[in-house]
Structure 1
């Protein structure tokens, strides 16, 4: 089912350059908070993607704030984001996205790559997603050899692993008016594509009570730690199918002889759909009001739902059909399924753009010291990228 022009497009794609870049980029620690490492990675990416002869720029991050253990809100520094624009005046345009940051900080022991077997590369960020960035580039280079007419933007952000807070507005702006979007998160186990995703919200509830001596006059105190624990329990009890609630950490407290007047509860909520999102927002507000009244404390909530739920639209069904047909024509049939993870595909879908967000490499054990990449997926997924773009160019979002 591969046409002659399609075969000519993908035939030159080889694994060697994709793998070489992956190894080079995986050697750079680009944990989100490692700003020198992220800057080095951004520079390396800018040099590589300049081969596409578009306009490459590094965009300053939007301001981001975070609540510390002392309950105070502070600015958080993040790296710049890479944007490439090719044929910006084209009538039809697509968006390709990925991220340069990893979950491994500069002092993490997992810093080097090694081969577990002839096809399995063990290393930080190999699957998530430096291999994905490398194969995306190779697929674009191949697409450019086939008389392309589609315009496209490439956005590679520096803070996806922490929720894309400094890049969400950039993503939304670039998504506007796009025909379709491809995001290079690693494939699910077995090479499957992600279908629907829940939303995700990260919150910090800073609880302010009143200190007092634990022995002389504890009744005069208002225990912020107990109030935070009560809030965590109320949120935890509200979880159900379609609404995941995870109280993750309480910071604060005081010496054993003092009633603690400060505690910060950090929690994550993942609503499956828009109705679940509305329920989650009401749940948080009700729980905070009840705990504040019962414990006579003040509670300041920081955070929000940075990842909207990602249901599957008819347009996304059509895009998946196109990608699935292309994969089958390449001898790599695939399926897709719902997943509990979130990514920038959530944000793109919320803009009304059909998106496939697991176009990256195959591998596994991401976010752990056992992370690995299947090298054979690099050239296979690069061919898929080139063919999908070619067919989007010729036919639009249709099988």
Structure 2
């Protein structure tokens, strides 16, 4: 660490590993699955109290209204928790965006609700890596920055719906991203510390197919089978897949008694485009498939959904930011590498705003989204140090 400046070394001395772990254990005990609005509210209160130790203004932002398509084809409002925003030194010459999420994938009725020590130094628990560990080390790095006296400007956004696509927070993220030099997002790194590089995009769609009911034996010719039409649509869309576009028809809901021609089906389908051109191709393919199936099967089709996560390439700005993080890691004796991934997160949305982002600045851990999820506890201090040095160097104009 002899390549660190005196300010950087003094800043790192402020990092409190025990405080970080205590926060993770407390926050992981709060069940905050995305659809558990009360649990997300409890988590938001905890986070607001913790981040109040930083200067600036904290607010809990109301979610943008969103909708859900039920198995009955009806569209209903979808409730989300409020999102936390902290703004510090809005007039500073260098301003960063730091983001994370308070929600997990474990609903209130999920059996995985408590933490335990899997082995010394490895904590197993809901959200300990994804991403309550990341939130804790983000806060610790910012506390260390503030203790250093560095006049860095930054906004923090912690949303309540990342795990389900950030549909109610996308507008907030886009608004806060404007004018930022760089962004750091606290998704977990891989167990060895590897970061996510380029990411593909994603789009989720619910397609409502309405046909006509009839008796399956007496007059089936009068019916228009929505299940058959939805199946034909699924096959057509699946045929559009390519190395640059994954297409996954995931579920068809609908139907009823065997003696009734089904008049309703809902097709759920996911797309994973590698770049913007594939989004355009996918949209055209959806339109063409819908038109063809409507005509061939004499049904009506309504498409709900969007490409909510644009692809995230490593452009020149992102490459410079990755290099800065890599060099900070080297000076901390932390080898930093990255590789492309098919997963998506809020880093996709931030990059689409033209802001360089590294979106796996969180703790080292693994088996996320499962009951085996784990946090490597020593990584809390390691990664808080990485964030602190990275932010100090950004404050000095390292990306200018």
CA deviation after TM superposition for structure 1 residue 91, in Å = 2.2
Paired position in structure 2 for 1:346: 348
Partner of 1:75, secondary structure, is strand
Paired position in structure 2 for 1:54: 56
Paired position in structure 1 for 2:211: 209
Output one character per residue of 1:117-146: Cα deviation in whole Å (capped at 9) or x when no partner: 111110000000000000000000001112
CA deviation after TM superposition for structure 1 residue 249, in Å = 1.1
- Give the distance between the partners of 1:329 and 1:48, measured in 2 at CA: 29
Matches within 5 A, 1:236-247: 236-247=238-249
CA deviation after TM superposition for structure 1 residue 191, in Å = 1.2
Paired position in structure 1 for 2:360: 358
- Give the distance between the partners of 2:106 and 2:399, measured in 1 at CA: 37
Contact 1:245 1:267 in 2 (8 A): yes
Is residue 140 from structure 1 mapped to residue 142 from structure 2 by the alignment? yes
- Give the distance between the partners of 1:144 and 1:396, measured in 2 at CA: 19
TM-score, length-scaled by structure 1 = 0.98
Contact 1:179 1:396 in 2 (8 A): no
Partner of 2:207, secondary structure, is strand
CA deviation after TM superposition for structure 1 residue 14, in Å = 2.6
Matches within 5 A, 1:1-399: 1-397=3-399
Tell me whether 192-201 or 236-245 shows the greater mean CA deviation: 236-245
CA deviation after TM superposition for structure 1 residue 189, in Å = 4.3
Output one character per residue of 1:122-172: Cα deviation in whole Å (capped at 9) or x when no partner: 000000000000000000000111221221000000000010000000000
Instruction: Show structure 2 runs of 5+ residues with no match.
Output: none
Partner of 1:96, secondary structure, is strand
- Give the distance between the partners of 2:60 and 2:5, measured in 1 at CA: 38
Contact 2:328 2:389 in 1 (8 A): yes
CA deviation after TM superposition for structure 1 residue 94, in Å = 0.6
Output one character per residue of 1:262-293: Cα deviation in whole Å (capped at 9) or x when no partner: 00001110100111111111111111111111
Partner of 1:333, secondary structure, is coil
CA deviation after TM superposition for structure 1 residue 12, in Å = 2.5
- Give the distance between the partners of 1:84 and 1:12, measured in 2 at CA: 21
Output one character per residue of 1:79-125: Cα deviation in whole Å (capped at 9) or x when no partner: 00000011112122110000000000000000000011111110000
- Give the distance between the partners of 1:152 and 1:162, measured in 2 at CA: 26
Partner of 1:62, secondary structure, is coil
Partner of 1:196, secondary structure, is strand
Partner of 1:190, secondary structure, is coil
Output one character per residue of 1:330-373: Cα deviation in whole Å (capped at 9) or x when no partner: 01111011000000000000000000000001111111111111
Partner of 1:385, secondary structure, is helix
Contact 2:14 2:147 in 1 (8 A): no
Contact 2:191 2:376 in 1 (8 A): no
- Give the distance between the partners of 2:309 and 2:249, measured in 1 at CA: 18
Which runs of at least 4 in structure 1 moved beyond 2 Å after TM superposition?
Answer: none
Contact 1:123 1:371 in 2 (8 A): yes
Aligned length: 398
- Give the distance between the partners of 1:280 and 1:396, measured in 2 at CA: 39
Instruction: Quote the RMSD (CA, aligned, Å).
Output: 0.9
